[in-house]
Amino acid sequence: MSKVVTMGEILLRLSTKDYRKFIQADEYEACFGGSEANVAVSLAMLGMESVYVTKVPDNPIGRCAISFLKKLNVDTSNVSYGGNRLGIYYMEKGSAVRPSNVVYDRAGSSISTAQPADFDFDRIFEGADWFHFSGITPALSEQAGDVTLEAVKAAKRNGLTVSCDLNYRNKLWTANEARQVMPQYMEYVDVLMGGREDARKMLGFTLSKENEDDTPNLEAYEKMFQEMVEQYHFKYVISSLRQSHTSSYHDFSGCIYDGKNFYAAKKYEISPMVDRVGGGDAFAAGIIFAILSGKETKDVIEFSVAASALKHTIPGDANLSTVEEIEHLMKGNGMGRVQR
């Protein structure tokens, strides 16, 4: 069993029920999420030894976040306690022609005010195989960016594979700001994940051509991936390929380049969308799992796309699917039939 370490911010998510707008809410569904925490949960569900590193306030709300992770088998023994608050995001789920809406209230969170001294990375990475982070953490604060850099360096020093999901968030920083920060991490990254927007805004790569019908131009993706590998020596570059027809109906797929070969996966139609948040994190976890399991490049992308497709049918941030369920979907067996 491989051991994967992820690090980032875990937030309390407060969602209105039944497609209510915020102004209609007098209760909120509460769960916990955050890009890297979602990856950690996914990996634990897939049977990996999954270690999540973060900092949460030493109060009941912070401890609830950790209990959530424990329930789902994530190793939280390296979590740092302190700081002032757990970040929040409010969510109003869209439907049909109405987009989902997210209100962040994460400024001043414990992880955004964390410092390198809060974590002993060499100890954390003992016996670990992989370290995963995302571009959200450096966007939180300069300090959080420093912690990330320490982590990445320690991961390489300890011989781990390092993956990064770019995850551009325009409510946290501008493309300009992101482009001044993100490239410094790239020399340590082995596996890069991110959509075309992320690649353009955060690293300055662009697709040479786009299809008019909103379908992905795979040749352009392959070309861009080659440029990215050339510049940063990534072992894998991977992008999800999502077409958002409406809030309730997406097509989801992905493509991968391993330095030699480029593959695009089968496309899944997601309709209706149960919960779109965390689709990318389920995808990232699928990639990490598949590579660590020794799958071939083509199978890596097929597995991770199927994993992400399933996530879109599960409420909450995290993919709770098992390897068996993902492989069941990949085989196309019994689609839509009750298992009884």
User: Which is nearer to its own copies, 154 or 195 (by Cβ)?
Assistant: 195
Residue 103 carries which DSSP code?
Answer: E
CB neighbour list of residue 306: distance below 8 Å, 6 or more residues apart: 266, 268, 286, 326, 327, 329, 330
Taking CB under 8 A as the criterion, the residue among 90, 149, 181, 235 binding its own copies is 90
The three-point CA angle 67-70-71 to 5° equals 90
Could you say which residues in the range 49-78 bind its own copies, by CB under 8 A?
59-61, 63-64, 67-68, 70-73
State in angstroms the smallest separation of the CB of 205 from its own copies: 21
Cβ closer to its own copies: 27 or 212? 27
Residues in 107-136 at the binding interface with its own copies, rule: CB under 8 A: 107-108
CA end-to-end span of the chain, whole Å? 31
Choice between 258 and 317, CB closer to its own copies? 317
Q: Restricting to residues 167-196, name those near its own copies by CB under 8 A.
A: 169-171
Contact call for residue 233 and its own copies (CB under 8 A): no
User: By CB under 8 A, is residue 100 in contact with its own copies?
Assistant: yes
User: Could you tell me which stretch among 183-191, 222-230, 281-289, 313-321 binds its own copies (CB under 8 A)?
Assistant: 313-321
Per CB under 8 A, 304 contacts its own copies: no
- Asked if 24 touches its own copies (CB under 8 A), the answer is yes
Q: Which residues contact 87 (CB under 8 A, 6 or more apart)?
A: 9, 11, 12, 34, 104, 105, 106, 107, 109, 111, 112
* Calpha distance 178→247 (Å, rounded): 27
Which of 268, 298, 299, 323 touches its own copies (CB under 8 A)?
A: 268
